[in-house]
Amino acid sequence: MTNIKTDVCVIGAGSGGLSVAAGAVQMGAQVVLIEKGEMGGDCLNSGCVPSKALLHAAAKGMSYPDAMAHVQQTIATIAPHDSQERFEELGCKVIRAEARFTSPTTLDAGGVTIKARRFVIATGSSPRVPEIEGLASVPYLTNETIWGLTSCPEHLVILGGGAIGMEMAQAHRRLGAQVTVIEAFAALGREDAEAAGVVKAALQAEGVTLIEGKGAERVSVVDGQTCVTLSDGQTVTGSHLLVATGRRANSENLGLEHAEVDRTKTGIKVGDNLRTSNRRIYAIGDVIAGGMQFTHVAGYQAGVVIRPLLFGLPAKAARHHIPHATYTSPELAQVGLTEADARETYQDKLEVVRAEISGNDRAIATGRAGAGSGFIKLMVVKSRPVGVTIVGPDAGEMIAFWSLVLSLNLKMSKIAGMVAPYPTLAELNKRAVSAYFTPRLFESRKVKTIVKTIQRLVP
């Protein structure tokens, strides 16, 4: 058995863990990085990267084998950046083994005992498989295993209408599969209802069957096909079943009881500073209880914990400016409060302004401005945006601007100074801001009186 003493020990080589390790070692800390699975974690190998590559391939009209080849090529191209070799070159000690705490200051990884001044748990999440009668005895796919398919499913039945389920639904429909999505509540139910409606209508127009408000009660195999029985007795039969019912934190089997780290059924408990109940141990990313399970959140939190880890400085993670996106076509992106949440929180203090994509010149020029093409909607309180919803082409790109706005708590008057090149979809941002000022400038008797007075008085 080997004993190692280090400044920082990072558990998990996904986006968050790699960001901490790279930053810490390049600023002079001794770093041990532990990963029991694939370097790059879920995002690179079975999450964000392959799903976006498949969506691209489907939009280009590739065959299913070519689409899957494109997925693997995309992963292979990015993988060196996340590789063990790169991090060893940076100066990290990389251990490929399962980590388990043995005390509040030590853990074991593959027979190696590591004692560290600080630990960062970044073990991510895994597909959450619901307890449905018969499911355990039926072959099913998750976002981790679907990439092993070599031919297009004849009929893909998807349990779950969240971002993963809807993205996979559209991609496989475009690649030639019949697709049925089953959602016990409302598909994209956590999103702005109006924006979600635009996405759902687009998928249904492409031939995706969407069943909402009916949960799966039982799953069985009938004549070689997977049969899902719904809560109302209806049955849906398909050639393949994809379970996309959410994620669960990878917080078990870490020996947290030995580390004096508190956790719940949904993950590890942390404060705003991302510190656990053990002051030496931090947690970031999907493993946090009640956290926002997005790759970019883990990366952001990595930047937050670097401050106390390396410099002993206080730092807290915020949530109000964190955006997220669903990469269907049209895309749906959100930052801050949805309209429904903002109305509940601010009531009559809330103003909602919007701009339609159908009126954007770039969208018109590129054939993306048809009926129901989407919109941008701003939720404004006392001249400051508290939430932004965008549904339409490149919504995931456009939402980044509004993340900065919310981060800096900018007023609408400051945002009005933004100039977008013409013609771009980004002009929608300016048009939405203009919609806020229109009644204040063009429909105001006071403004018109002032202008008329000035025109008479100024030679």
**Residue ranges for the binding site for NAD(+)?**
160-167, 183, 246
Q: What span, in angstroms and rounded, lies between the C-alpha atoms of 127 and 136?
A: 14
- Identify the helix (H) or strand (E) that includes residue 248: strand 247-249
Provide CB contacts within 8 A for 257, sequence distance 6+: none
The three-state (H, E, C) secondary structure of 386-446, written as one string: EEEEEEECCHHHHHHHHHHHHHHCCCHHHHCCCCCCCCCCCHHHHHHHHHHHHHHHCCCHH
Phi, psi torsion values for 74, nearest 5 degrees: -65, -45
DSSP 3-state assignment of 96? coil
Q: Are 437 and 412 in contact (CB under 8 A)?
A: yes
Q: What span, in angstroms and rounded, lies between the C-alpha atoms of 337 and 279?
A: 32
Q: Is 443 exposed, middle or buried (0-12, 13-18, 19+ CB in 10 A)?
A: exposed
Helix, strand, coil % in the chain, rounded to nearest 5: 40, 25, 35
- Residues annotated within a binding site for FAD: 52, 123-125, 286
Q: What span, in angstroms and rounded, lies between the C-alpha atoms of 81 and 240?
A: 34
Structure tokens at 216: 């799966």
Task: Concatenate the DSSP letters of all residues of 39-64 into one string.
Answer: TTHHHHHTSHHHHHHHHHHHHTT--H
Structure tokens at 268: 């590890």
Q: What span, in angstroms and rounded, lies between the C-alpha atoms of 251 and 109?
A: 16
Neighbours of 230 (CB within 10 A): 17
HSE, CB side, 13 Å, CA atoms: give it for residue 382. 2
- Residues annotated within a binding site: 52, 123-125, 160-167, 183, 246, 286
